């Protein structure tokens, strides 16, 4: 095990295995949740279960060996919802073309990760804008969760209204939401998967959903979605903003996760730049391959912090977590029987967590204050992460121009504002 330098990191095999198992339990929810979200685009649920597990296995193990950090990776929340509800349902883009967007953003991500562009992109976009983007995505996916649970419904007079709280499925969703919040507040390991299981069992016992005849089967084929991406259809000017949003959001998400987990684990201090660089490179490669495998962008998972709390300090824990994701490949009948209202409460809780980034924003800066408002409200109201970010960038530049402080705009925000002008007023 010298490959993982256990002694140097003051850990041992038993600790790393325990940490890997803990991380696995904390992020197991992503398999049914991602499949449920992405299947809304018309992609087959069975193939998505397999593809999600396979990409989690590959990305986590690759990161364990390449970067030797205890960071497990899987399909990221937020962009998967944008994939289905923003691009496919909202913009009418075929899911094959949306996979092409994921693939191209992955290639750009790789180029950025191995060049000085990464540092430039990180340093030139204000931290508060990054926080606003995280909060905006949180509001967006929480809104999707509320819609899918029928807590919020369409209304011809007011656009949206409250749902029917006499409906057993809505009540089941509220029960699942209460469980997810409770387990999260109590800091239970595997809070999300525990909430999903208990809500599902309740649905079966109460007769709201049908109990499956069996729980185990051979893995479903990935063939219906693997290598089905359509690249030529997205090589247009109108798709550039969408590709950039996938790229920027994935990069911000990963950097935020690495900063949080790394700080807690004491990672990225000695030789930190190398470990950080390699973890980002893994994420970039995995994102590109996600487009080929048939899922949206892969990212570092904040749930890796659960393994870190158990003492995980090396890539061995990430490898263990990745290997354990072989098990969900054989649980397709169980996942198929999970009611959607046991799944979507998780989006709301994750959305609330991401929304919490607003507390760190400096509202004394007028440009930050106004752009934050348009980013955070723009994403759910336009049903688009792209439009929300571009609105915020446009307002950011406008406020600085009105203040006469144009030197504070920065190249990156200026470019985003220029793209916004192109998208909103030309294309």
pLDDT at 410: 85
Greatest CA separation for the chain:
68
Q: Is 155 helix (H, G, I), strand (E, B) or coil?
A: strand
| CA–CA gap between residue 213 and residue 293 (Å, rounded) | 30
Domain parsing of the chain, residue ranges: 2-359, 362-427
Low-confidence ranges of the chain (pLDDT < 50): 270-272
Among 28, 130, 141, 149, smallest CA distance to 83 is for 141
CA–CA dist 48, 35 (Å, integer): 5
Give the H or E element holding residue 160. Answer: strand 159-162
Tell me, what's the pLDDT at 257?
78
pLDDT at residue 271, rounded to an integer: 43
pTM, 2 dp: 0.85
Which residue's structure tokens are 């990760």?
113
Taking alpha carbons only, the member of 383, 426, 404, 311 closest to residue 21 is 311
Integer-rounded Cα radius of gyration of the chain: 21
Element (H, E) at 383: none
Q: What is the pLDDT of residues 101-112, one digit of tens each?
A: 999 999 999 998
Residue 68 DSSP label: -
Is residue 282 within 8 Å of residue 62, measured between CB atoms?
A: yes
Nearest in space to 392 (alpha carbons), one of 415, 381, 376, 406: 376
Nearest to 214 by CA among 68, 49, 330: 330
In this structure, are residues 317 and 19 in contact, taking their beta carbons and an 8 Å threshold? yes
**What pLDDT, on a 0 to 100 scale, did the predictor assign at position 272?**
47
Nearest 5°: the CA angle 413, 418, 419 is 95
Q: How far is CA 400 from CA 211, 366, 368, 376, 413, in A?
A: 59, 8, 10, 19, 11
């Amino acid at each position: 095990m010298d490959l993982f330098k256990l002694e140097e990191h003051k850990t041992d095999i038993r600790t790393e295995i325990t940490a890997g198992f803990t991380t696995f339990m904390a992020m197991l929810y992503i398999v049914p949740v991602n499949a449920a979200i992405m299947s809304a685009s018309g992609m087959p649920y069975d193939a998505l279960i397999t593809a999600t597990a396979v990409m989690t296995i590959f990305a986590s193990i690759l990161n364990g060996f390449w970067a030797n950090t205890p960071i497990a990776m899987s399909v990221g929340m937020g962009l998967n919802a944008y994939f289905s509800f923003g691009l496919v349902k909202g913009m009418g883009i075929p899911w094959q073309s949306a996979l092409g967007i994921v693939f191209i953003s992955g290639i750009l991500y790789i180029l950025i990760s191995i060049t000085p562009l990464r540092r430039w992109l990180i340093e030139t976009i204000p931290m508060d804008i990054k926080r606003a983007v995280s909060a905006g995505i949180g509001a967006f996916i929480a809104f999707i969760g509320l819609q899918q649970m029928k807590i919020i419904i369409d209304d011809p007079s007011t656009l949206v209204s409250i749902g029917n709280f006499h409906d057993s499925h809505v009540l089941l969703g509220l029960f699942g939401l209460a469980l997810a919040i409770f387990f999260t507040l109590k800091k239970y390991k595997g809070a999300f998967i525990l909430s999903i299981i208990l809500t599902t069992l309740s649905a079966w016992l109460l007769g709201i959903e049908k109990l499956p005849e069996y729980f185990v089967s051979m893995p479903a084929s990935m063939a219906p979605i693997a290598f089905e991406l359509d690249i030529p259809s997205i090589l247009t000017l109108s798709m550039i903003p969408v590709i950039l949003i996938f790229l920027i959001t994935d990069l911000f998400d990963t950097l935020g996760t690495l900063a949080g987990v790394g700080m807690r684990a004491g990672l990225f201090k000695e030789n930190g730049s190398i470990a950080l660089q390699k973890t980002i490179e893994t994420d970039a490669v995995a994102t590109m391959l996600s487009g080929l495998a048939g899922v949206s962008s892969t990212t570092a998972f904040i749930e890796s912090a659960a393994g870190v709390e158990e003492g995980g300090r090396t890539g061995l824990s990430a490898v263990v977590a990745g290997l354990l994701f072989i098990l969900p490949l054989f649980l397709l009948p169980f996942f198929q029987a999970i009611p959607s209202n046991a799944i979507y409460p998780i989006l709301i809780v994750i959305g609330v967590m991401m929304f919490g980034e607003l507390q760190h924003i400096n509202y004394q800066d007028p440009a930050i204050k106004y752009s934050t408002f348009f980013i955070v409200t723009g994403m759910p109201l336009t049903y688009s992460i792209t439009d929300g970010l571009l609105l915020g960038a446009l307002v950011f530049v406008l406020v600085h121009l009105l203040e006469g402080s144009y030197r504070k705009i920065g190249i990156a925000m200026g470019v985003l504002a220029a793209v916004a002008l192109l998208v909103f007023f030309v294309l």
